[in-house]
Homo-oligomer: A and B are copies of this chain.
Amino acid sequence: MAFAPDIAARLEEQAIELPSWAFGNSGTRFKVFGTPGTPRDPFEKIADAAQVNKYTALSPSVALHIPWDKVDDYAELRKHAEDHGVALGTINSNTFQDDDYKLGSLAHRDDRIRRKAIDHHLECIDIMDETGSRDLKIWLADGTNYAGQDDMRGRQDRMHESLQEIYARIGENQRLVLEYKIFEPAFYHMDVPDWGTSYAQVAALGDRATVCLDTGHHAPSTNIEFIVMQLLRLGKLGSFDFNSRNYADDDLIVGAADPFQLFRIINEVIIGGGYGKDGDTAFMLDQCHNIEDKIPGQIRSVLNVQEMTARALLVDREALEAAQIEGDVLKANGILMDAFYTDVRGDLAEWRESRGLPADPMAAFLASGYLAKIAEERVGGVQAGWGA
């Protein structure tokens, strides 16, 4: 059995952007473990990211993080990426690691610090112009740890003003994407804690401002696919940061903690027109491979997304709607589950081979000797991490 042609074709539309920082070291506040072969600079990160695409054809672009991925010559970086078969993608700003940002950035009370944070974003847009990136993704660590520490309303208003100034600089073909997160690093309140706040803020900016949904940034028991549906309905689901979690923002491999949830999320993306050529929703990974190998971890991740996409594409929409119209709860649920329970791995292997890709990308990559090679070659220097 192989995929029907329409499903095979739709699978070709899949593109999952990789984060450059996934190839550097990451960890918890307790410890960051290093690994031999970890990239020392953006060029090496992109080389590693390109491996994922080489074996899967699923990840044609790489997101950068400024300043971690700052280089003197972005044209050179862009060419380096293209030489490796990938494009430069979303630019992520960073206003959480400078000492000035201890109490906030775009929402800070101090004009000087707010100015600095705005300027950082303007610089990011300059970089986007050079890298050819479409999206400026803003995740703000802004918030407070203690009640009374600051006035939440004033912070919200200042953040709005800062975003307006940044948005004014966004190009015609560019987008501002605002991420939300319930907590961490702030532990009393975050200035953009939920989709409602992100939505209210970007709606006040304009059409080219949208929301980024990170699957790990919600309160326990939140129905994430509902938010996917709602943001697509409101025309504001700009992008995903995929990962998975059991507890907080665990940043595990997407699909690892709850594959059925990933299936439901992608199912709503497809229903809502956000998938593939239909839609404007960018699929990205945002994960931390604290203890597992990074490149294989990313390969596993894009394959998980692909497998759940294939399953979601298999849902018998007509039968499902008929059962829903009937009000037959068990039948409707059963039709959805039939797709989820279908083992698509064999079909995907076949699909890959017919496109000149290895049937088993993970095995092919591990057999390639790349990990041994970088472990040997990348000696000396400072391994990249969340500081660079």
Give the interface of A toward B (CB within 8 A): 26-31, 33-34, 96-97, 99, 102-103, 109-110, 141, 144-153, 156-157, 182-185, 187-189, 193-197, 199-200, 218-223, 225-227, 229-230, 232-234, 245-248, 250, 252-253, 256-261, 264, 268, 271-272, 290-293, 296-297, 300, 307, 320-321, 324-325, 327, 329-330, 332-337, 340-343, 345, 362, 386
Return A50 CB to nearest CB of chain B, in Å.
20
Task: Give the residues in chain B near A230, CB-CB below 8 Å.
Answer: 156, 196-197, 200
Return A122 CB to nearest CB of chain B, in Å.
22
A148 and B300: CB pair below 8 A? no
Task: Give the residues in chain B near A221, CB-CB below 8 Å.
Answer: 182-183, 219-220, 246-247
Task: Give the residues in chain B near A220, CB-CB below 8 Å.
Answer: 219-221
B29 and A183: CB pair below 8 A? no
Task: Give the residues in chain B near A33, CB-CB below 8 Å.
Answer: 99, 102
Partner of A337, one of B148, B245, B292: B148
CB pairs A–B below 8 angstroms (28 shown):
A27-B29, A27-B185, A28-B184, A33-B102, A103-B329, A109-B324, A145-B291, A147-B225, A148-B320, A148-B334, A152-B226, A153-B272, A182-B221, A183-B221, A183-B247, A183-B248, A184-B247, A184-B248, A187-B246, A189-B226, A194-B196, A196-B230, A219-B221, A221-B247, A258-B261, A292-B330, A293-B329, A343-B343
| Nearest-neighbor residue (CB-CB) of A307 within chain B | B341
Task: Give the residues in chain B near A145, CB-CB below 8 Å.
Answer: 250, 252, 290-292, 329
Return A353 CB to nearest CB of chain B, in Å.
19
Q: How far is the CA of A156 from the CA of B345 in the complex (A)?
A: 34
Q: How far is the CA of A209 from the CA of B323 in the complex (A)?
A: 34
